[in-house]
Structure 1
Amino acid sequence: MTMVLDRSVESAIARLLQIGGRGGDPQATARRLSDVYPTLRALSQASVHDLCQIEGMTKKKAEQLLAAFTIGIRYVEEPKVESPTIRSPQDAYELLRDELRLLNQEHFVCLYLNTKNQLIARKTLFVGGLNSSIVHPRDVFREALKLSAACFIALHNHPSGDATPSREDIEVSERLVEAGNIVGIACLDHVIIGEDHYVSMKQRGYMNG
């Protein structure tokens, strides 16, 4: 389908031209462009030289406008990559195992998921010694709310290679469950990653609150 340069498109072009340099009325220049190039396809196929024939256009503005088209075309042509679905602690472990298992500092990571358990984003929230005073639910759920996440899985590594839960790990898990019940965003699991294995705090019974 050919996209006609209507008022909304003209306004978007005018904003680009305004960024591209001072001088002239960008809205008027955008209107003159639409008179000569009535569709986005026609405008995108113009050369810098052609665009510079339009009153108010400069070489810099023309190059910036065509660069915006190039980005848009690449975006449309880019193959869609399906977000991974995380349905179990094993899925979460396999996603981050190679990245976390040999680190010499503890990294606390959250995998934020949508209602279909598809990954929205992964965030490293804390680095260093993990304890319940450092890992605050406020920071975890702030990101969840920002991302409109339905739920999340927390993970962290044990640099010792032994994934046995510590007292601090249990406390963090309990606090995340409690906060999730209040906010309405469930912490599905807290996975501890060792050198060649993992422990699910959910499966161990520490997250049944």
Structure 2
Amino acid sequence: MARREARFTCRVKLDHDFTLIPHLSQAGYHLQIRKFLIDDNGNVQEDQEEEFQEKFFLLDFVFGSNRHRRHVAQRLREAGWRQRSLERILDEAFSEAKLILQREKNRRDFRSIPTIRFCVNKFVRWEDELEGMALELSLQEAPRPLPATKESIQALKKVKVEGDIAQECMICMEQLSSGTEVTSMPCSHLFHGDCIQEWLNTSHKCPLCRFPMPTDG
């Protein structure tokens, strides 16, 4: 039987974070992807090892912006969402999320930060999962990535983050605060200095665009 693409569902849920000091112009964002395996009899079992989560906080005018949408879409495509329905689903999810945030803002609840959780379920056939595991085993002998040279890492430019629009280090997923010093790759992508140094000590390619740094190989 031919391998099928994974099937996805997405629903929006409201949470509250009571651990942080709330701010009226701030909203929480939480993406949760859970994987489920389906056999030929229709039985469903969750794969506990395949759960993906990321959390961070955004200014309310950044939540749902084009940049935020592109980030969420990229994460879902990386998880295997290939259906053409992705953009329509994101339209519906962000529209619902903004209505929820507006309602919470009108309530003026100063005890917590409203957090929107995108609950995404990924459904995969058992047969396809086994086939993927076999392919992964066959690729274990593949060459390891080459690290960048120490000289090229030390030569990377240090710059200061400018502007008020939220940016994040795509390695640790934490925000690059305005005014702080970060490291710029030759391709102009910005990261925390420690994050990109650790990355380049393993792989010589930019984690976002695969721009190659010099190697000893």
Structure number with greater CO (CA < 8 Å, separation at least 6) is: 2
Normalising by structure 2, we get a TM-score of: 0.23
Normalising by structure 1, we get a TM-score of: 0.23
- Which one has the bigger strand percentage? 2
